Amino acid sequence: MNASEMILAAHSDASYLSEPQGRSRAGGHFFLSSNAEIPPNIGVVLNIAHIIKHVMSSATEAELRALYIMAREAIYIRIILEEMGHKQPPTPLQTDNSMADGVVNGKIQPKRTKAMDMRFHWLRDRECQEQFRIYWRPGKLNYADYWTKHHPAKHHKNIRNEFLTPMIMLEMLRQELAIKHGTSAAAAATSIARIMETQLPPKITEHLNIGSSREGVMILPYLRYALRRTDLEREPHNIVAGCG
């Protein structure tokens, strides 16, 4: 990841009254990205699944509370990145609730806001300080949705590559570093090919026609392509392992 890509971004979501005793759940997905209008999910750094302590009076209030929780978490991550030399623009914070987006951005002025004054005024204030840029996108494009809902097993299998790092990808990155530090390309390619032959599904290696490739490092882009293929993401294989 280049320095230009070390930009923090986050998604926020809430599920209203989905927990016992009238509680709601807040979820957040934090990742490093590029400075784009709609930041792509390049590298996950933190996921949050949090039961909101107080009973929320509406779905909008639950979404505002979730935005508040995620924004507070994002502040110290911004500080860490800036101390490391990665200057941060206003952190993009995505929500899938148009009412919450309207309230925070001043497009809507609710009549009865006493219970949520502190939270949404704090969010407005931080936006005015250009610490955050809160925007709306549909729920199906919100990664935080994963942490706030009860999903069937099929959905977990379909989405897990967004939150988990395949072992072969880690090994590929290790080999790229080894090549940069002087290890021969042939030795690196041999190691990756061996892992590919033993851990990738045969139909992927057959499709790419690189199952026996042991020279050079031209297989690396094809491995990235293979790991993102739909049939690999939707079937349970033993190459997926948690990473942080």
Domain harbouring 15, CATH code = 3.30.420.10
Q: Are 63 and 108 found together in one domain? A: yes
pLDDT above 90 covers what percent of the chain?
Answer: 27
| Residue 160 maps to a domain | no
If you average pLDDT over residues 49-58, what whole number do you get? Answer: 87
Task: Report pLDDT for 210.
Answer: 43
Among 30-44, 64-78, 107-121, name the most confident range: 64-78
Q: Mark which of 124, 150, 176 sits at the end of a domain.
A: 150
**pLDDT-wise least confident of 25-29, 70-74, 90-94, 151-155:** 151-155
| Residue 115 maps to a domain | yes
pLDDT at residue 59 is higher than 50: yes
The number of distinct structural domains making up the chain is 2
Task: Report pLDDT for 22.
Answer: 87
Contact at 8 Å (CB) between 71 and 82?
Answer: no
Q: Are 191 and 141 found together in one domain? A: no
Q: Mark which of 96, 119, 150 sits at the end of a domain.
A: 150
| Residue 124 maps to a domain | yes
Q: Are 141 and 223 found together in one domain? A: no
pLDDT tens, position by position, 80-123: 999 999 999 999 999 999 988 888 887 877 666 565 667 778 88
Q: Are 133 and 72 found together in one domain? A: yes
| Residue 233 maps to a domain | yes
Q: Are 115 and 219 found together in one domain? A: no
Q: Cα–Cα distance between 65 and 69 in angstroms, integer?
A: 6
| Residue 12 maps to a domain | yes
| Residue 22 maps to a domain | yes
Segments forming the whole domain that contains residue 13 = 3-150
Task: Report pLDDT for 225.
Answer: 47
Between residues 2 and 56, which one has the greater pLDDT? 56
Between residues 165 and 5, which one has the greater pLDDT? 5
Q: Are 59 and 170 found together in one domain? A: no
pLDDT above 70 covers what percent of the chain?
Answer: 65
pLDDT tens, position by position, 128-164: 899 999 999 998 889 888 888 888 888 777 877 777 6
- 201-205 contact pairs (CB < 8 A, 24+): 201/231, 201/232, 201/235, 201/237, 203/231, 204/229, 204/231, 204/232
| Residue 159 maps to a domain | no
Between residues 221 and 182, which one has the greater pLDDT? 182
Q: Are 17 and 44 found together in one domain? A: yes
Q: Mark which of 150, 184, 218 sits at the end of a domain.
A: 150
Q: Are 81 and 138 found together in one domain? A: yes
Contact at 8 Å (CB) between 120 and 114?
Answer: no
Q: Are 125 and 173 found together in one domain? A: no
Q: Are 139 and 173 found together in one domain? A: no
Output the pTM of the full model.
0.67
- The mean predicted confidence, pLDDT, of the chain is 75
pLDDT tens, position by position, 188-216: 556 656 655 555 555 445 544 444 444 33
Task: Report pLDDT for 216.
Answer: 37
If you average pLDDT over residues 31-54, what whole number do you get? Answer: 88
| Residue 198 maps to a domain | yes
Between residues 21 and 240, which one has the greater pLDDT? 21
If you average pLDDT over residues 14-32, what whole number do you get? Answer: 90
Give the residue carrying structure tokens 């930041």.
39
pLDDT-based confidence at 183, cuts 50/70/90? low
Q: Are 9 and 128 found together in one domain? A: yes
pLDDT at residue 167 is higher than 70: no
Q: Are 145 and 191 found together in one domain? A: no
